[in-house]
A = this chain, B = another copy of it.
Amino acid sequence: MAENDNEIMDCHAEDEKEKTRACASRTHSYLESLTPSDRDGHSSTQSSHRLLAYSDALISIIATVMILPVAHTKIQEDEELTESLQQLISTKVAVYLMTFLIVTVAWAAHIRLFQVIEHIDDCLALLNLACMMLITFLPYTFSLMATFPENTLGILLFCTCVIVIGMIQAIIVVYGFSRPFLLNEQIQMSENPAFYKWHILKVISKVPVLCMLAVIFSFIFSPVSYVLLAIVIFLRYISLSARWCYGKATGRLEEPADSMVFYTYHPDEPLSKERVEAFSDGVYAIVATLLILDICEDNVPDPKVVQEKFSGSLVDALKEFGPEFLAYFGSFATVGLLWFVHHSLFLHVTRATHLMGLFNTFSLAFVGGLPLAYQLTHEFARNSRNELEAIQISCVIIFFAGLFQLAIWVTALFGERSALHPYVRFAGRDHAFMFAKLALYPCVALGTFVLTCVLSRFSAPIFHLMEITVPFVFLLLRLLVSAGLSLLRRLLSSIRRAMRSPRKTRTPVSLSARWRPSIG
């Protein structure tokens, strides 16, 4: 096994070198045409790459911002969670989840728009910034709605924002079609760009029209307008899952016609993989640092307090904050490792579909709640019921965050041919390794949950042990998987031999062959 492994590595290193060399020489000779800024920076037209990266960064911050009000809800120590407090928290969590979904809907619309318009100029950049400013305001209007469900002001503000965003997007489309060199090549080459233009404008106008209706109904009978808004948010998800179920049920997934590849909601339609990565990176980065933001601000002790209460001993004063630091390191490690799994996963994925994007959104929404769950685990008295609950909530959140990552992988396996690299398709060592990475967190979280149920008195030590062990397991995972596979193979071959020796009839085929490393 080890020899085989080294061979692959060597072979790969050689391969790599040659390619790099070939690439370098090519890059050199084509330098002028290859580097994007060189190609596009010329005159007023620019590559849209950095604009999109900046937009992704902004949107990912905004998607996670509503977790802060949840975080800063003060809970009295040693007190059972009262009903009113539980209600308050669950309202805030609902606002967070809804905001996350709304913002990702806006983000998906932004992706589709800039799949059509591939180059930008100054005017488009400024229009996009205006659009971003309005998107960043959406969470606030939403929390107004949640706090004052009777008042129509929240709905009015929200709808106004969405309508203005729609108008800006329409202007961007019209502007883009008036300068065809900004457009996607496919549309540029097509015979009837005007058809595309109207089709895209029609799709863009759907949401603002729904919002306009919601505004009108908000004056007449406000519940209807909430229903309309729910349709706006969930339309995409509902249509996606309906189509997927339908496609799976009938067994035939007709490919979307090439001409309509933009502005449809087909679940197998490709999402920009690069932007999914950029958005996820943004969310993971914000979430990982969420606790340090609080720590830097709140947990620097006051010199006077240190002097009076701890007789000048800073170490004693900081010991008070011990649980906060522990929570920070624990949540940073967990979020970092989930990012790591996500990173490994998307290295193997060649094409992200809408369905994968949907699972990714769900996974990220859970990840966003992680730091708070971690913080809660340390806020209550030892062995109290609250502590146990907080630890179990953390486990549930980790479990679902990991599970939806696994769902992305399973979705990719279904669309194997177009969505995955050849060497990670079914069977093969890389496949097993990837599966182990993805399964680790859900399994560990489930195990911890069950253990804390059984040994509720030791829930905190079990949880901390889990926090400390998991990073090392990740470090050694490759070794563990290799060892596990070779063990499995030996076991299988010995079973086969044992079965073969008494009676030479049928041998179990391919079971071990499946797990033999497949050299692509």
CB distance from A296 to the nearest CB of B (A): 5
**Given A8-B43, A423-B42; A343-B148 close (CB under 8 Å):** no
Q: Sort A-B residue pairs by CB-CB distance and give the 10 closest, nearest first.
A: A57-B285, A13-B181, A41-B347, A129-B336, A12-B43, A61-B289, A54-B281, A151-B314, A153-B314, A58-B285
Q: Which residues of B contact A38 (CB under 8 A)?
A: 350, 421
List residues 16-74 of chain A with CB under 8 A from any CB of chain B.
Answer: 16-17, 19-24, 26, 30, 33-34, 37-46, 50-51, 53-54, 57-58, 61-62, 65-66, 68-69, 72
Contacts of A151 in B (CB 8 A): 314
Q: Is residue A15 within 8 Å, beta carbon to beta carbon, of the partner chain? A: yes
A44 touching B9 in the complex, CB below 8 Å, given contacts A153-B315, A289-B136: yes
A480: min CB distance to chain B, Å: 12
Taking the complex as formed, is A509 at the interface, i.e. its CB lies under 8 A from any CB of chain B? no
Q: Given the known A-B contacts A133-B336, A137-B292, A303-B147, are A72 and B297 also in contact in the complex, defined by CB atoms under 8 Å? A: yes
Residues from chain B with a CB closer than 8 A to the CB of A40 are 16, 347
Report the bound CA distance from A16 to B182 in whole Å.
Answer: 10
**CA gap between A33 and B336 in the complex, in Å:** 30
Chain B residues positioned under 8 Å from A113 (CB to CB):
none
* Contact in complex: A300, B147 (CB < 8 Å): yes
Given contacts A15-B42, A41-B347, A69-B297, 14 further A-B contacts (CB under 8 A): A12-B43, A12-B181, A13-B45, A20-B185, A21-B185, A41-B421, A51-B343, A57-B281, A125-B340, A129-B333, A137-B292, A144-B300, A148-B314, A153-B315
- The answer, among B122, B133, B314, B430, for a CB contact under 8 Å with A344, is B122
A91 to chain B, nearest CB (A): 11
> Given A43-B9, A285-B61, A332 and B136 touching (CB < 8 A)?
yes
A125 CA / B140 CA spacing, docked (Å): 37
Stretch at the interface among A200-208, A235-243, A390-398, A470-478: A470-478
Question: Is there a chain B Cβ closer than 8 Å to A404's Cβ?
Answer: no
Q: A185 to B57, Cβ gap below 8 A?
A: no
Q: 1/0 per residue A282-303: CB within 8 Å of B?
A: 1011101100110111011101
Interface residues of A in 465-520 (CB under 8 A from B): 471, 474-475, 477-478, 520
**A177 CB → nearest B CB, Å:** 14
Q: List 7 A-B contacts (CB under 8 A).
A: A15-B42, A17-B181, A38-B350, A53-B277, A65-B296, A129-B337, A136-B289
Task: Answer yes or no: A354 CB below 8 A from chain B CBs.
Answer: no
Taking CB as reference atom, which chain B residue is nearest A24? B185
* Cα A22 to Cα B185 with chains together (Å): 12
Distance between Cα atoms of A253 and B471 in the complex (Å): 47
CA distance A512 to B288 in the complex (A): 56
The answer to whether B22 and A33 have CB atoms under 8 Å apart is yes
Distance, CA A423 to CA B301, complexed state (A): 56
Q: Within 8 Å of chain B (Cβ to Cβ): is A266?
A: no
A125 to B474, CA, bound (A): 11
Report Cα–Cα, A143/B34, bound state, in Å. Answer: 46
If A37-B350, A43-B9 touch, does A318 touch B153 (CB 8 Å cutoff)? yes
Closest B residue, CB atoms, query A121: B478
CA distance A396 to B119 in the complex (A): 35
List B contacts of A61 (CB < 8 A): 285-286, 289
- The verdict on A222 contacting chain B, using a C-beta distance below 8 Å, is no
- Mask: chain A, 393-427; 1 = CB below 8 Å from B; 0 = not: 00000000000000000000000000001010000
Look across to chain B and name the residue whose beta carbon is closest to the beta carbon of A293: B65
Q: How far apart are the CA atoms of A72 and B350 in the complex, in Å?
A: 45
- Chain B, residue nearest A475 (CB): B126
Shortest Cβ gap from A15 to chain B (Å) = 7
Interface residue ranges of A134-191 to B (CB < 8 Å): 136-137, 139-140, 143-144, 147-148, 151, 153, 180-181, 185, 188
**What string of 1s and 0s marks CB contacts (under 8 Å) between A361-400 and chain B?**
0000000000000000000000000000000000000000
B292–A140 touching, CB < 8 Å: yes
Say yes or no for A439: interface residue by CB 8 A criterion: no
